Amino acid sequence: MIVAGIMSGTSADGINVALVQCVGRGLKTRVKLIAHEEYPYPSVVRHAVLAMMNAAAASVADLARLNFVLGELYADAVLATLKKHNSRCDLIGCHGQTLYHQGEAKSFLGRKVAVTWQTGESAILAARTGVPVVSDFRPADMAAGGKGAPLVPYLDILLFGRPRLGRIVQNIGGIGNMTAIPAGAKHSQVVAFDTGPGNMVIDAVMQQLYSRPYDKDGAIAAEGTPDLEVARAVLRRPFFRRKPPKTAGREEFGREFVAHFIELCGSIPKQDIVATATVVTAMSIRRAIENFLDKPHTYREILVSGGGAKNPTLLRMLGEELENLKVKVRTTAEFGMPIEAKEAVAFAVMAYQTWRRQPSNVPSATGASRPAILGKITYA
């Protein structure tokens, strides 16, 4: 079966589409990437998405409109990818655009609830493409007592688990998330959780200080000197001390966090603020390994994916942080998985498992009480 996976992450920079051939069942599924394309959001759409993420107030009408607009954009992206590669697909797996994610239960209207919201109308996507769609993956895990994230560890186990080699797979998108796979690990031994900000704080600082959406090639951070006292102060926040399973998003590292971070930096040069934001991401990953992994010295490689893998300054800082642990920094591209494609591939694979009535969460990663079949199916 050929499945189109769609991912648009917390950085809200655009849409990734992966065409994936899936054969087999469960953890014996064989996965082959056929094609991968990226489509940036129109600037007005990105602005709207960022404005509505974790917003204290938003127009109900605009939220409904955004849902349908994103459905159209997802359909455009899939159809363009199929046309460009002269291909077809039998199924679509669409993560949707996260507007809010609260993995911990909180009181609301007399009930304690954990909640999540990914938008992008699957009915539009199915109607435009003529292909059934699996969407809204996170709630089924949350209904089983999990935090709804991270979900990508299912793919990490399939692709990167090895009998004699302990590996860490680290995605650095808007948020950083880690999958730690011990050598020869069973499904229940895999640990996965969000490590903290990935590119989110770096991007926000660049937007505020330089009116640029991100630090291209880490060039600004490379010119600066990180303020390690500020970085250590940031890493004393409760999130970084909380034991897994745990998740994060803009509600944790969004606009309020960035305002506080810039205030902490005081009058240091702008490039030093960017360098400090960058080292926070690197230090948070190292601390996650040291504090939350059993026998951290047994891991020999960290395979990085996501937009952060395009930032050589961030990768250099990460390598320096991990030098004493003797963990080698590599990218998933070295193993045939393009750095921007992995999450789109993951939701293609999870959609395939749902279609086959197979669970695809990893309870040891999300905290769920049981394996769960993820997502909702919209027929064309």
In the annotated binding site, the residues are 9-16
Cα–Cα nearest to 321, from 296, 285, 293? 285
Burial (0-12, 13-18, 19+ Cβ within 10 Å), 352 = buried
**Residues 104, 102: Cα–Cα separation, whole Å:** 6
List Cβ neighbours of 52 (8 Å cut-off, separation of 6 or more). Answer: 58, 62, 63, 66, 99
Per DSSP bridges, beta strands 166-172 and 175-181 are antiparallel
Q: Which amino acid is at 127?
A: A
Going from the C-alpha of 156 to that of each of 133, 171, 236, 245, 365, the distances in angstroms are 23, 10, 29, 17, 12
Chain centroid to Cα 260, Å, comes to 24
Structure tokens at 21: 């051939």
**Residues 22, 268: Cα–Cα separation, whole Å:** 51
What residue numbers does the annotated binding site for ATP cover? 9-16
